[in-house]
């Protein structure tokens, strides 16, 4: 199993409907199967792209792999340290500046203080925040927050990156730079799980593409065949 | 630590607010009560101040505890983290508040020519009981707030009522009937009474009084922690 960094087996995740009416219906538990019997394996040094419409379960899958959600059924095996970049800038405090936020965020995901201190300048430099780094985060644009989140997670010496459509708000230069960073990361034998709606990039970057719809695995395979299938679905 | 820093960031007086709030309440109530009563009990000012201090720590502490999970929605949804840790952080912030309030407490004593006697060494013990109680309630309230948002409004009202059912502006020896019955089952009331005894009445509370308050605090703490553990798996999805 060591060659795999993430192994997901028969994973299901159910979200209950929160309406009080449903408390009466004892037999039928109403809600949504956000993930329905998903199995996927990702090898070390590979990138898995996850595509699908909004609400298809992409984020839920990443969150469950990150250990934020508990699986209702099935199992998840993770070999290595995970750096999650889920949702833009959540986990950041708007009243603190970039440096304070990096420290805060890093400590939260379990990076020792010393290690963080030595990397803080690299993070700010990669995010190209420059003079903004002393500014409170409430003055940042969504793109700048995303840069900070992305740079923090990248500099932290993780083995598996979980990236949830975070680059969509970055400008073109930063996106290019991020994809280069992805390549370097992969070359080091590390793993990336990446959800996205921008399909062009994953043609040459992803080793496998997973297509989800309504929580079900529609297809997994090479970028070409899966993206073709997705394009067909879009036309229907 | 971040919690405290953030709470006062952007305010001009910063940490001083923790001291100003109870001090103003005290001054206001002291003026009112010395005006409507021709004569007050000995050391009424310190009696009032003791009650206000404990009450204020309790209300700030639990109100902070309620939102300790819901206020950190972003963090909970983006990293895997021990959830038990959030109410503890909120209560750690409350402990800092305690230092400030105790400072105000001793700072105001000379103005009323009050010198505490040795029994005041028990004050940390009383405050420790208070902290355990706040932590226990924070566990219950924070997890309830994830599922039922109304709890915050409800608790606000209960806290308001608590001011009147706790011996802050009245003496236990003067009350009877319903108020006395309520007082007997009010854990905050017992902690306030312990504080009154060691500070104002200069006596050492008997063991049974300590045990009664301790049983309340520890009991609520354990119940709170069990409830928290039971529901913690569902916290992130429901938040």
Over residues A98-113, the pLDDT tens digits come to 888 888 777 776 677 8
| Average model confidence (pLDDT) across chain B | 89
Name residue, tokens 């007997």.
B184
Task: Identify the residue with better confidence: A176 or B118.
Answer: B118
Residue A28 has pLDDT above 70, yes or no: no
Exposure b/e, B18-51, CB count within 10 A at least 16 = b: bbebbbebbeebbeeeeeeeeeeeebbbbbbbbb
pTM: 0.83
- Find chain A residues with C-beta within 8 A of B6's C-beta: 93, 95-96
Give CA separation, A162 vs A34, A59, A98, B44, in Å: 18, 10, 21, 62
The answer to whether residue A15 neighbours chain B at the CB level (below 8 Å) is yes
What is the number of H-type helices and E-type strands within chain A? Answer: 7, 9
B6 and A CB contact within 8 Å: yes
Q: Is the pLDDT higher at B85 or at B29?
A: B29
pLDDT exceeds 90 at position A174: no
What token pair was written down for A222? Answer: 């090479």
Contact A69/B at CB under 8 A: yes
- Residues A227 and A219: their CA atoms lie apart, in Å, by 10
Torsion of CA B212, B214, B216, B219, to 10 degrees: -130
From first CA to last CA, the distance across chain A in angstroms is: 39
Whether residue A108 and residue B79 make contact (CB cut-off 8 A), yes or no, is yes
3-state SS of chain A: helix, strand, coil percent to 5? 40, 30, 30
Mean pLDDT within A40-51: 92
Q: How confident is the model at residue A134 (pLDDT cuts 50, 70, 90)?
A: confident
Return the SS3 of B76: helix
User: Cβ of A109 under 8 Å from any chain B Cβ?
Assistant: yes
- Which one of B73, B80, B237 has the shortest CB-CB distance to A15? B237
Chain B contact for A223 (CB, 8 A cutoff): no
| Cα A124–Cα A130–Cα A136 angle in degrees, nearest 5 | 80
Confidence tier at A151 by pLDDT (50, 70, 90): confident
Residue A2 has phi, psi (to 5 degrees) of: -60, -25
Cβ neighbours for B19, distance < 8 A, ≥ 6 positions apart: B100, B101, B103, B104
Residues 6+ apart with CB under 8 A from A119: A155, A156
Could you give the percent of chain B with pLDDT greater than 70?
A: 94
Mean pLDDT across B97-112: 91
pLDDT tens figures, B163-213: 999 999 999 999 999 999 999 999 999 999 999 999 999 999 999 999 999
Q: Hey, are the CB atoms on B73 and A18 less than 8 Å from each other?
A: no
- Which chain A residues are closer than 8 Å to B237 by Cβ? 15, 69
* A147 has pLDDT over 60: yes
- Nearest residue in chain A measured CA to CA from B232: A70
State the pLDDT at residue A18. 58
Contact B55, B192 (CB under 8 A): yes
Q: Which residues of A touch B10 (CB under 8 A)?
A: 95
Q: CB-based contact (8 Å) between A33 and chain B?
A: no
- pLDDT band for B3, please (50, 70, 90 cuts): low
Per cent of chain B over pLDDT 90 is 69
Q: What is the pLDDT of residue B237?
A: 81
A167 pLDDT more than 80? no
Which has the higher per-residue pLDDT, A66 or B3? A66
Q: By residue range, what is the domain housing residue B190?
A: 2-238
Total count of domains within chain B: 1
Comparing A27 with A47, which gets the higher pLDDT?
A47
Out of A25-29, A127-131, B27-31, B166-170, least confident range: A25-29
């Amino acid at each position: 199993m060591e060659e795999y960094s993430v192994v997901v087996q028969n994973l299901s995740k159910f979200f209950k409907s929160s309406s009080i009416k449903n408390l009466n219906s004892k037999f039928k538990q109403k809600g949504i199967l956000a993930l329905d019997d998903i199995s996927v394996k990702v090898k070390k040094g590979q990138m898995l792209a996850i595509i699908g419409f909004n609400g298809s379960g992409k984020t839920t899958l990443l969150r469950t792999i990150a250990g934020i959600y508990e699986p209702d059924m099935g199992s998840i095996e993770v070999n290595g340290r995970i750096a999650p970049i889920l949702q833009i800038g959540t986990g950041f405090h708007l009243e603190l500046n970039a440096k304070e936020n990096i420290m805060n965020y890093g400590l939260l995901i379990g990076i020792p203080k010393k290690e963080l201190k030595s990397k803080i300048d690299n993070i700010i430099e990669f995010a190209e925040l420059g003079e903004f780094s002393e500014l409170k985060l409430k003055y940042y644009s969504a793109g700048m927050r995303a840069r900070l989140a992305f740079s923090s997670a990248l500099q932290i010496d993780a083995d598996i990156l979980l990236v949830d459509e975070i680059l969509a708000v970055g400008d073109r230069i930063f996106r290019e730079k991020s994809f280069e960073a992805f390549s370097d990361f992969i070359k080091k034998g590390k793993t990336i799980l990446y959800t996205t709606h921008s399909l062009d990039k994953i043609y040459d970057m992803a080793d496998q593409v997973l297509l989800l719809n309504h929580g079900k695995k529609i297809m997994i395979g090479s970028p070409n065949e899966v993206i073709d299938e997705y394009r067909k679905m879009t036309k229907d | 630590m971040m919690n405290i820093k953030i709470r006062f960031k952007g305010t001009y007086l910063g940490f001083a607010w923790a001291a100003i709030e109870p001090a103003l309440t005290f001054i206001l109530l002291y003026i009112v009560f010395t005006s409507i009563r021709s004569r007050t009990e000995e050391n009424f000012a310190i009696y009032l101040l003791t009650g206000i201090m404990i009450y204020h720590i309790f209300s700030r502490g639990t109100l902070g505890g309620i939102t300790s999970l819901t206020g950190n929605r972003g963090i909970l949804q983006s990293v895997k983290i021990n959830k038990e840790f959030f109410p503890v952080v909120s209560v750690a912030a409350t402990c800092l508040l305690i230092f400030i309030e105790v400072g105000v407490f001793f700072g105001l004593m000379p103005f009323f020519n009050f010198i505490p006697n040795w029994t005041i060494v028990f004050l940390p013990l009383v405050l420790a009981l208070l902290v355990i109680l706040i932590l226990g309630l924070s566990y219950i309230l924070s997890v309830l707030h994830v599922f039922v948002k109304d709890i915050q409004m409800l608790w606000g009202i209960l806290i308001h009522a608590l001011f009147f059912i706790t011996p802050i502006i009245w003496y236990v020896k003067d009350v009877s009937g319903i108020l006395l019955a309520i007082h007997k089952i009010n854990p905050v009331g017992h902690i306030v009474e312990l504080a009154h005894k060691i500070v104002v009445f200069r006596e050492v509370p008997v063991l049974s009084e300590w045990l009664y308050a301790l049983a309340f605090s520890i009991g609520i703490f354990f119940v709170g922690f069990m409830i928290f553990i039971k529901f913690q798996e569902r916290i992130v999805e429901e938040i």
